[in-house]
Chain A
Amino acid sequence: MALSRGLAASHAPNILLEPGSEWEEFMQLHYSMAPQASSSRPSLESQKKLRADAEKAFAVLRSDLEASRPDVLIVVANDQFVNFFFNNIPTFFVTLAEEVKGQFTRHKFHYRNHKELGRTILEAGLEKGIDFSYGEYVELQHTQVVPLYFLLPEPKIPILPIYVNTWVDPIPTPRRCYQVGELIREVANAQRERIAILATGGLSHFPGSPRIGEIDTQFDHKLLEIMRGGKGRTLADYSLEQILQAGDSEFLNWMVVLGTVGDAKAASTFYMPDHVATGWGFASWKL
């Protein structure tokens, strides 16, 4: 079995922004869409505690990742108008680049891309009826580098970015995302290399919406409970409306990883709403 670990983590920019002025600027911008939400903004002490709590969660995930000795880390994330625009929005996209780079404020990122694994997944998809888009150049963005800053700060192994359109209507169903994950599991288990997979994003948030600042913590806790029980398969039955109403469209990235980990129970989960925009969620599966 070549699958070594499944992980999922939020990618909210403020996880990596410094508490204080950077957080304040971030909140100020987002609240221009909904000034009424700004009354709930967290204090500096709360910001620092959130950062510390997120670092603790990431430390557990990083320890799990390193203990699984992966040769490559697949990163399932959504593009947010960096690589794709309305002239071409791929529903699922596999990166076939030699290398991938990106920058987040003062932090620079540069990884080898495992294009051979990408091509294998692409070809397996064509064989099985899942037709990925693909391309030989992408720029990394916060949806990948925020978790990678904590999980893979040194580019010791290559990554493989896979994109899911979770942002631009119409988006794929939870079931289809789960099927993509199943395909990745089938491919991964036929490889000699040890393969870990990370989903990023979520949990509940409403970016760019008048509902910014609302976080459906009840729905998020339910998702995490289902994952701890190894019942991720049942989430494929959820409708898009259920997911969208809770502000959990980026959970579609997690649905891919749920398809890959199958009925494994999430060994660790963490959750902390940031009182700004997003329910920060984290999960790890031993495979």
Chain B
Amino acid sequence: MSSYHLNRFLFDLKMHEQLFNKALANVNEAMNQYDLTPEEKDALAAGDPRKLRPLGAHGMLALYIMRLHPDFRTNVYWSQK
């Protein structure tokens, strides 16, 4: 199972600073730009990558939700691709 729009949101969170900054300011507004189900939105808002995989997120893309977590925003992981 995979969800294109869920994965797209996660991909953009790492690759596009504009979306990252928008999500930092207001994650609900950022999510509304994507065709996400209520279940996907809830899982994204929870910020736990383990909740995203069962919904079809690729495992490595699921990790990208951590970029919004206050403890991980400056993690060295985001300075490499």
Binding site for B on A (CB under 8 A): 13, 17, 21-22, 25-26, 28-30, 32-33, 80-82, 85-87, 102-105, 139, 141-142, 167-168, 207-210
Whether B80 pairs with A86 at a CB distance below 8 angstroms is no
Chain A residue contacts of B77, Cβ below 8 A? 13, 25-26, 29
B32 at the interface (CB under 8 A from A): no
Whether B50 pairs with A86 at a CB distance below 8 angstroms is no
Whether A22 pairs with B76 at a CB distance below 8 angstroms is yes
A-B contact pairs, 28 of them (CB 8 A): A13-B80, A25-B76, A26-B75, A26-B77, A28-B71, A28-B75, A29-B66, A32-B49, A32-B63, A33-B63, A80-B60, A81-B11, A81-B14, A81-B15, A81-B60, A86-B7, A102-B81, A104-B80, A104-B81, A139-B81, A141-B80, A141-B81, A208-B49, A208-B60, A208-B61, A208-B62, A208-B63, A209-B59
- Contact A167-B60, Cβ < 8 Å, known A25-B77, A86-B7, A105-B80: yes
> In the assembled complex, how far is the CB of residue B10 from the closest CB belonging to chain A, in whole angstroms?
9
B4 at the interface (CB under 8 A from A): yes
Closest B residue to A14 by beta carbon equals B76
B72 at the interface (CB under 8 A from A): yes
Within 8 A of A (CB), among B45-77: 48-50, 53, 58-63, 66, 71-72, 75-77
Closest A residue to B69 by beta carbon equals A32
Interchain CB contact (< 8 A) of B59 among A13, A33, A86: A33
Of A25, A26, A30, A32, the most chain B CB neighbours within 10 A belong to A32
Chain B residue contacts of A25, Cβ below 8 A? 75-77
Closest A residue to B78 by beta carbon equals A29
Whether B66 pairs with A26 at a CB distance below 8 angstroms is no
Chain A residue contacts of B7, Cβ below 8 A? 85-86
Closest B residue to A209 by beta carbon equals B59
Whether A86 pairs with B8 at a CB distance below 8 angstroms is yes
Q: A105-B80, A208-B49, A208-B53 are in contact. List 5 more A-B contacts (CB 8 A).
A: A26-B76, A26-B77, A29-B77, A32-B66, A207-B59
Q: How far is the CA of A66 from the CA of B68 in the complex (A)?
A: 44
Whether B62 pairs with A33 at a CB distance below 8 angstroms is yes
B79 at the interface (CB under 8 A from A): yes
> In the assembled complex, how far is the CB of residue B70 from the closest CB belonging to chain A, in whole angstroms?
13
Q: How far is the CA of A30 from the CA of B64 in the complex (A)?
A: 10
Chain A residue contacts of B50, Cβ below 8 A? 33, 210
Q: How far is the CA of A87 from the CA of B5 in the complex (A)?
A: 10
Whether A82 pairs with B60 at a CB distance below 8 angstroms is no
- Contact A17-B59, Cβ < 8 Å, known A33-B49, A86-B4: no
> In the assembled complex, how far is the CB of residue B45 from the closest CB belonging to chain A, in whole angstroms?
16
Chain A residue contacts of B60, Cβ below 8 A? 80-81, 167, 207-208
B21 at the interface (CB under 8 A from A): no
Q: How far is the CA of A241 from the CA of B60 in the complex (A)?
A: 20
- Contact A85-B75, Cβ < 8 Å, known A33-B50, A33-B62: no
Whether A30 pairs with B63 at a CB distance below 8 angstroms is yes
B37 at the interface (CB under 8 A from A): no
What 5 A-B pairs have minimum CB-CB distances, sorted nearest first? A208-B59, A208-B60, A141-B81, A104-B80, A25-B76
Chain B residue contacts of A17, Cβ below 8 A? 76
